[in-house]
Chains A and B, each alone.
Chain A
Amino acid sequence: MADLTATYSRSDAEPRGAKPKRALSGRNIMIYGTLLVFSVYYLLPLWVMVMTSLKGMPEIRMGNIFAPPVEITFEPWVKAWSQACTGLNCDGLSRGFWNSVTILIPSVILSIAVASVNGYALTFWKFKGSDIFFTILIFGAFIPYQVMLYPIVILLREMGLYGSLWGLVLVHTIFGMPILTLLFRNYFSTIPEELFKAARVDGAGFWAIYAKILMPMSLPIFVVAIILQVTGIWNDFLFGVVYTKPDLYPMTVQLNNIVNSVQGVKEYNVNMAATLLTGLVPLFIYFISGKLFVRGIAAGAVKG
């Protein structure tokens, strides 16, 4: 099992490469030049979003989207949050934000609970056929969602959950399962088996070992899973559109409805404030999590 993330940081500490040369060698100019050019490409949209969202409409019509505002105004932010119209209603993006929050919390908790128990069972309590289920699960991560969209509509309708919050929570739990189970399984399999055996000898059962031994040992991987799920679920669009009703639409769906709505005069500053507002939660998670985020996304590339 080649764990990409484990090797990622390993050689950071060791000296490597050629001896340090003059700071301004041709080689350095090329390397830093490339990195700087790409950094401009990556940073430009964030810059434009922030600048546009702080300008008034007259200034936008006159000026340059890259230029900083002459007169800073927070009006677009207020408007995006509380007055922007989607065609259905005009109470702003705040509705979508709170919808996303109410979808997010149970989805993150349920999906991680289920997947961590899966990973635990697949590592320490293998039963006949458990590896087959795991293989199907991993393949499931690659099946286009479109193939499963309608059967899930039927299942949810049968359960009376179609269009409800809990239906969407269930969908996020199902589709989060492959990657999260892989993440937990790979982490748990690095835990020495002796520990598990000792606990068994002491008479601890399935749940006791999970709750008292494994969970406290595995906090970092739970954090990685939370990062992965918060950003993933917050950014979801398709499931939100398909499985919820308009009054429960998550923030991404509402944002798209606000910006791409054909009625009314386009207020680009409000649109950019709304876009930025929607991006704030994943950006916040990203900036506070640092290398753990890298670890989470690399989990998908780990060969099981």
Chain B
Amino acid sequence: MKKRDRTPKTYTRLTHPLVRDSRDEPFRRATWDEALARAADGFRRTKEAHGPDAFAMLSCARATNEMNYVAQKFTRVVMGTNNVDSCNRTCHAPSVAGLSAAFGSGGGTSSYEEVEHTDLVVMWGSNARFAHPIFFQHVLRGIRNGARMYAVDPRRTSTAEWAESWLGLNVGTDIPLAHAVGREIIHAGLHNKAFIERATTGFDEYAELVEPWTLSLAEKVTGVPAAAIRDLAHAYATAERAQLCWTLGITEHHNGTDNVRALINLSLLTGHVGRYASGVQPLRGQNNVQGGGDMGAIPNRLPGFQDILDAAHRVKFERAWGTEIPPRYGMTLTDMFEAMEHGELHAVYCIGENPAQSEADSEQAIRRLAALDHLVVQDIFLTKTAEMAEMADVVLPATAAWAETDGTTTNSERRVQRVRAALTPPGEAREDIDIICEVAVRLGHDWKFADSEAVWNELRSLSPDHFGMTYDRLTEHQGLQWPCPDLEVLPSSFLHGRLWESDPALRGPAAPFGLVAHDPPVDLTDESFPIRLTTGRRLDSYNTGVQSGGYASPLRRGEYVELCPEDAERYGVVVGEEVRVSSRRGVVVAPVWVDPALRPGLAFMTMHFPDEVDTNQLTIEANCPIAGTAEFKASAIRIEKLPVAAVRS
């Protein structure tokens, strides 16, 4: 089989500010002074004409904690709104929402190293072998140390190849499967009664909720044999220690938060949380998507996960910042796009995000961004969000956080690590924090930070969970995990050990079972759209491909619609043949790839090559009502053979 030798569109670094005098004109080069003045003027005009809530900040899950701290502070202090969010909304916001609801804190509970010392690993909706390769090395260590691994995924992925058992469920039936596992554990008497009584609430209601989900009903709905479900239930419940890990297969659904709750329920049922090597672990998809939320670049939390609705938290920040914080949640990214549609949002400051290509139903996203009065884009590239759709008014060239600035990022195991500048940025590109401060200055706030450490120390003074993490300690220990309130004591590697305390005062609030019901994918398959399309990542590529398109990967083969051999035969199509792929929202043409890891009726695509095949024209913007994440993982599509077979070589 010949691989296509394709060089994807490469992006060139932005080296100077760009402005345009009207939307009909092309960009022209501008001085920093002019560009910053225009950016600030637009924000000021918006605030004066429409109030602070007509502004929104898209902060960057790729940039440092320090930048995210300054970006959310800009939003709350300079603009006076809580409308700040980032692309965490498109991936793991349900994990944060689900974990917060159960445990009061939105991070994974365990550390990578613990996976090496556990007895059972469940990888649910996660192809970590491709998407998180170095985390998976820890899993492999665990397997070599004797742990058993179960993979729950519609596709038999390269992660599943390492599993003792692969549960190939139908897309969007995670809750029935989880409930059936829960019911089986209860009926077999394997639930951890002492833990349930001591540390949880709502068990009786949960038992009642899962009661209808017999193994045979679950087999019918999920497509997983009853014996395999029973086996997983017994293995998970009887393991001394167990890790439950998930990725976007759980969260990128219209009911993503419910999915997360359904998985957390299993850990509460068995007591597999709050102990060394027992825990629940969402694997985050971007270098600092954890940190962005931790820094308060989300509409409902101040830095350090402190709730905006809590008056005491607000007062602390109001004193420190000399401002008043609106006592209500701001808009999520999803709300923002809807508010653009309804004309409630007029100005957006978009830092390092590419929503024109990363949002579900991308055509709609572009239309909405184009309707803004004022769009400022700050990025290292002229992405599609800034350029192709011709939407931005001002483009500000930034530095690459990971290689050209100093600061910190926070990974999936809550480890805050130092990022250091190794390269001199190109042209006139400036650090994000500098740029934001310059805009703030033009809006009447005389902000100046000596360096990233000064920002970090301000954050430390306001976030108890980060207080113990000085730059020196972060260097000394190669990163520290939050919560780290103490300057001497090293933090625990896992969260919520309190749940095991016998003293109720130390134990703190009990973890509630999530009473969530099955709700199938919104985009139903039928005669017209008979194939279920799910999306994911490949090993060598990343998101919209702006970063990963830049190097010569021998593994890269461009975008394909991947089908199982049976479906390929049914449609009479061969590898490389272009077909028309349609959903209820859009049509793309893509070549066929045949993958035996798929099952009849299931197709797979990525979003790595949007300039080649814009997969997100097919996906549905059906959002989780709690977290706002779209259902990227389940669209209904139709495959049509083109009249004259155009086989790409």
Do A and B come from the same complex? no
A residues sitting closer than 8 Å to B (CB atoms) are: none
